């Protein structure tokens, strides 16, 4: 039996030292870090013909671009070849997730195991191409229509086509890097790419928060406490789950004989099954009217219907108009949390899976009764997850009115960062435990 020497070092530091002491695990970690560096370099390769000053003005007046910049890792703000980030692929994946239970052919593919999932993933890749072209064209058109224009309005069709192809290529390059990380590195590659972009912007955000807090010390302290409490809340609800007890009674063929064995385990139903997807859906939907109305907006001194729509659908709207925007954002987040949870839960098809594996919930009949019971449980715990997401969505509004300092940290970004960190740490821990287990057997 091999044992690791006891140490007085903190567990996390010791775990990192153990990880780097294993050659194959060290290679995976360094590979992940290396591709993140490549991603950050790509994010600073600009497309030609962009006016940086006009781009900065556009970001100040269009909050939706801040969310898109979140997924591009700052590449949209620089308008680099990776300006769309992995957003087209994420959109395609979400669309496929929604379509799988609706289209029989896709539902049949999802039941074919790994081969079926690979086919669905390939369809998502192909679907991301037209979605990326549409998004690239929309971004370029928006930049051309600004006052002052970010891109020359007289740009030829050939140059526009070249820019669109370059942006699609940059997006798929990031997707490819993410898939390489998933295969040869540590963690979910696409999530790691998004994580790297968000974290890269935090030094600037912290600097802005420090400048704002210098003139409002009490507000700065409360701001920091709200940020820390938000992180703790995200960690708690990300890890929270309801354990459903399950028993198995099955026969196992071993050594030419049939043995009957039984065992007890549990199904962990996550409280926040939908993750951060409802926040993205709700934010995109609530900002869409304001984006459309901004094309028809007139001077501020001459109010019209378009100006009114822009004001009511703006996160920076003054009170009491601000209550409409943030209240609607809260309600949409709740609705999408239930909607997306139902879709995910239907795809998992737990009642049939349990029945096929010879499992059952004590006191519940297999089949329809099990389905009814699980639907009831998931409905109850989803209320907690949905209210959590809704509260996280409106934290910037609460923080700004309590402290007088605008919440610079995106709540969606915090959920992504915390989720990716937890997932990567679990995978790293699993790698360490697996290797220690093999050493114990030897």
Spans in the chain with pLDDT lower than 50: 1-8, 252, 259-260, 437-442
Eight-class DSSP state of 408: -
Q: How far apart are CA 291 and CA 297, in angstroms?
A: 10
Strand partners, 257: 254
User: Beta strand 359-360 with 257-270: parallel, antiparallel or unpaired?
Assistant: unpaired
Give the relative orientation of helices 52-61 and 114-144 as an angle to the nearest 10 degrees: 110
Strand partners, 248: 263, 359
> In 3D, which of 410, 430, 438, 337 has the Cα closest to residue 74?
410
Domain edges within the chain: 1-200, 203-409
pTM of the full predicted structure?
Answer: 0.76
Question: What strands lie across the sheet with 257-270, from one edge to the other?
Answer: 257-270, 241-254, 359-360
Peptide bond preceding 320: is omega within 30 degrees of 0, i.e. cis?
yes
**pLDDT (0 to 100) of residue 34:** 92
User: Beta strand 241-254 with 257-270: parallel, antiparallel or unpaired?
Assistant: antiparallel
> In 3D, which of 93, 96, 75 has the Cα closest to residue 174?
75
**pLDDT (0 to 100) of residue 2:** 40
Peptide bond preceding 148: is omega within 30 degrees of 0, i.e. cis?
yes
Residues 402, 226 contacting (CB under 8 angstroms): yes
**pLDDT (0 to 100) of residue 309:** 80
Q: How far apart are CA 340 and CA 275, in angstroms?
A: 9
> In 3D, which of 414, 397, 392, 387 has the Cα closest to residue 315?
397
Distance of CA 371 to the CA centre of its chain: 29
**pLDDT (0 to 100) of residue 441:** 38
Please indicate whether the domains covering 1-200 and 203-409 agree at the CATH topology level. Answer: yes
- 417: number of Cβ within 10 Å: 20
> Which residues does 425 contact at the CB level (< 8 Å), separation at least 6?
none
DSSP 106-144: HHHHHTSTHHHHHHHHHHHHHHHHHHHHHHHHHHHHHHH
> Which residues does 312 contact at the CB level (< 8 Å), separation at least 6?
290, 321, 324, 325
Q: Which CATH superfamily is domain 1-200 in?
A: SecY subunit domain (1.10.3370.10)
Eight-class DSSP state of 239: H
Calculate ∠ Cα 78-418-97, nearest 5°: 80
**CATH number assigned to the domain with residue range 203-409, chosen from the 4 options 3.40.1410.10, 1.10.3370.10, 1.10.10.10, 2.60.120.20:** 1.10.3370.10
What rounded mean pLDDT belongs to the chain? Answer: 78
Q: How far apart are CA 32 and CA 177, in angstroms?
A: 9
What is the phi-psi region of residue 326: left when phi exceeds 0, alpha when psi lies from -120 to 50, beta otherwise? alpha
> Which residues does 58 contact at the CB level (< 8 Å), separation at least 6?
65, 142, 143, 146, 150
> In 3D, which of 329, 339, 299 has the Cα closest to residue 397?
329
Reported as a single tens digit per residue, the pLDDT across 148-202 is 778 878 888 888 898 899 999 988 999 999 999 988 888 888 888 888 877 877 7
State the first-to-last Cα distance of the chain, in angstroms, to the nearest integer: 7
Residues 361, 188 contacting (CB under 8 angstroms): no
Report phi then psi at 263, rounded to 5: -160, 165
């Amino acid at each position: 039996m091999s044992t690791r020497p006891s140490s007085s070092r903190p567990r996390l530091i010791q775990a990192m030292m153990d990880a780097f002491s294993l050659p194959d695990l060290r290679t995976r970690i360094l590979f992940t870090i290396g591709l993140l560096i490549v991603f950050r370099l790509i994010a600073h390769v600009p497309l030609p013909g962009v006016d940086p000053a006009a781009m900065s003005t556009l970001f100040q007046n269009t909050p939706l671009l801040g969310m898109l910049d979140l997924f591009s890792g700052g590449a949209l703000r620089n308008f680099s070849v990776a300006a769309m980030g992995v957003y087209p692929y994420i959109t395609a994946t979400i669309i496929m997730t929604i379509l799988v239970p609706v289209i029989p052919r896709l539902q049949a593919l999802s039941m074919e195991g790994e081969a079926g999932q690979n086919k669905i993933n390939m369809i998502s890749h192909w679907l991301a191409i037209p979605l990326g072209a549409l998004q690239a064209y929309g971004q370029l058109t928006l930049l051309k229509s600004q006052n002052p224009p970010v891109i020359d309005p007289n740009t030829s069709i050939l140059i526009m086509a070249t820019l669109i192809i370059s942006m699609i290529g940059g997006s798929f390059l990031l997707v490819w890097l993410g898939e390489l990380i998933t295969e040869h590195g540590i963690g979910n590659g696409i999530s790691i790419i998004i994580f790297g972009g968000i974290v890269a912007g935090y030094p600037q955000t912290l600097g802005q928060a420090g400048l704002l807090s210098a003139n409002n010390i009490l507000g700065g302290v409360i701001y920091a406490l709200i940020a820390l409490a938000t992180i703790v809340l995200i960690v708690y609800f990300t890890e929270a789950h309801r354990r459903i007890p399950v028993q198995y009674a099955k026969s196992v063929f071993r050594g030419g004989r049939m043995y009957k064995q039984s065992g007890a385990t549990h199904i962990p139903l996550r409280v926040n099954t939908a993750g951060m997807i409802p926040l993205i859906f709700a934010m995109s939907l609530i900002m869409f009217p304001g984006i459309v109305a901004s094309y028809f907006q007139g001077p501020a001194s001459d109010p019209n219907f378009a100006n009114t729509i822009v004001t009511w659908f703006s996160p920076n709207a003054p009170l009491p108009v601000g209550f409409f925007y943030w209240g609607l954002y809260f309600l949409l987040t709740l609705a999408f949390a239930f909607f997306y949870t139902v879709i995910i839960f239907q795809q998992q098809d737990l009642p049939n899976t349990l029945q096929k594996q010879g499992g059952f919930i004590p006191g519940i009949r297999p089949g329809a009764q099990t389905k009814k019971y699980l639907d009831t449980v998931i409905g109850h715990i989803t209320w907690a997850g949905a209210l959590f997401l809704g509260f996280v969505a409106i934290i910037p509004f609460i923080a700004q009115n309590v402290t007088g300092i605008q919440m610079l940290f995106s709540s969606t970004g915090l959920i992504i960062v915390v989720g990716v960190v937890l997932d990567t740490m679990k995978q790293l821990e699993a790698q360490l435990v697996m290797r220690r287990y093999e050493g114990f057997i030897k």
